[in-house]
Amino acid sequence: MIFLTALPLFWIMISASRGGHWGAWMPSSISAFEGTCVSIPCRFDFPDELRPAVVHGVWYFNSPYPKNYPPVVFKSRTQVVHESFQGRSRLLGDLGLRNCTLLLSSVSPELGGKYYFRGDLGGYNQYTFSEHSVLDVINTPNIVVPPEVVAGAEVEVSCMVPDNCPELRPELSWLGHEGLGEPAVLGRLREDEGTWVQVSLLHFVPTREANGHRLGCQASFPNTTLQFEGYASLDVKYPPVIVEMNASVEAIDGSPVSLLCGADSNPLPLLTWMRDGSVLREAVAESLLLELEEVTPEEDGVYACLAENAYGQDNRTVGLSVMYAPWKPTVNGTMVAVEGETVSILCSTQSNPDPILTIFKEKQVLATVIYESELQLELPAVKPEDDGEYWCVAENQYGQRATAFNLSVEFAPVILLESHCAAARDTVQCLCVVKSNPEPSVAFELPSRNVTVNETEREFVYAERSGLLLTSILTLRGQAQAPPRVICTSRNLYGTKSLELPFQGAHRLMWAKIGPVGAVVAFAILIAVVCYITQTRRKKNVTESPSFSAGDNPPVLFSSDFRISGAPEKYESERRLGSERRLLGLRGEPPELDLSYSHSDLGKRPTKDSYTLTEELAEYAEIRVK
Per-residue pLDDT tens digits for 334-367? 789 999 999 999 999 999 999 999 999 988 999 9
Start-to-end CA span in the chain (Å): 166
pLDDT exceeds 70 at position 609? no
Residue 271 banded pLDDT, cuts 50, 70, 90 = very high
Architecture of 330-410 per CATH? Sandwich (2.60)
pLDDT exceeds 50 at position 69? yes
The pLDDT of residue 479 is 55
- The superfamily in CATH containing domain 140-234 is Immunoglobulins (2.60.40.10)
Q: What is the CATH number of domain 416-504?
A: 2.60.40.10
The pLDDT of residue 538 is 63
Tell me how many degrees the CA angle 224-230-234 measures, rounded to the nearest 5: 155
The pLDDT of residue 200 is 92
pLDDT exceeds 90 at position 566? no
The per-residue DSSP string of 392-420 comes to EEEEETTEEEEEEEEEEEEEEEEE-TT-E
Q: Does domain 238-323 have CATH number 2.40.50.1020?
A: no
The pLDDT of residue 320 is 95
Whole-angstrom CA distances from 119 to 25, 37, 130, 165, 561 are 13, 24, 11, 25, 192
C-alpha 173/C-alpha 609 separation (Å) is 147
Residue 353, preceding peptide bond in cis (omega within 30° of 0): yes
Per cent of the chain over pLDDT 70 is 78
Residue 507 banded pLDDT, cuts 50, 70, 90 = low
The pLDDT of residue 517 is 53
The pLDDT of residue 191 is 81
The pLDDT of residue 302 is 95
Q: What is the mean pLDDT of the chain?
A: 80
Q: Please tell me whether residue 33 adopts helix, strand or coil conformation.
A: strand
Higher pLDDT, 492 or 588: 492
Q: Which of 265-279, 376-390, 465-479 comes out lowest in average pLDDT?
A: 465-479
Judged by phi (left if over 0) then psi (alpha if -120 to 50, else beta), residue 194 lies in left
The pLDDT of residue 143 is 94
Strands, E assignment, 267-311:
270-275, 278-284, 287-292, 301-309
- The superfamily in CATH containing domain 23-137 is Immunoglobulins (2.60.40.10)
- Cite the residue boundaries of each domain of the chain with CATH code 2.60.40.10: 23-137, 140-234, 238-323, 330-410, 416-504
Q: Please tell me whether residue 371 adopts helix, strand or coil conformation.
A: coil
C-alpha 455/C-alpha 465 separation (Å) is 12
What is the pTM assigned to this prediction? Answer: 0.57
Per cent of the chain over pLDDT 90 is 59
Q: Average the pLDDT over 51-59 and give the result.
A: 89
The pLDDT of residue 61 is 95
The set of residues, in sequence order, having a beta carbon less than 8 Å from that of 436 and lying 6+ positions away, is 411, 412, 413, 414, 468, 470, 490, 492, 494
